[in-house]
Amino acid sequence: MFTSGPANPGVVKASRTMIHGLSEYLDEQLHEALGAVNKWFCSQYYGYEVTSPELLLTYYIKHGGASHFHQAHRMDFLEVSTVPSPQRHC
């Protein structure tokens, strides 16, 4: 949740709710990056069986896997409301 600080009265306060928690989102993405499909494509690209998690992640990111995952899961984070913060009267 984003809120205005005490020094910033009147700043817009936004509230966001996640359909999935961030840790679940990252777990799913990591599972995909280290999974059999990405491993096959990465191995085809390099011409040998890739087992290095670092190389699999690098391939996944550089060849659009991370971007595709983001597009497929962009609705996992929905904006619930945006409301002005209450005005303070001194």
pLDDT in tens, 48-69: 999 999 999 999 999 999 888 9
pLDDT-derived band at 11 (thresholds 50, 70, 90) equals: very low
pLDDT higher than threshold 60 for residue 6: no
Say what the pLDDT of residue 85 is.
57
Tokens 């966001």 -> residue: 16
Classify each residue of 46-56 as buried b or exposed e, where b means 16 or more C-beta atoms within 10 Å of its C-beta: eeeebeeeeeb
Average pLDDT over residues 69-87: 66
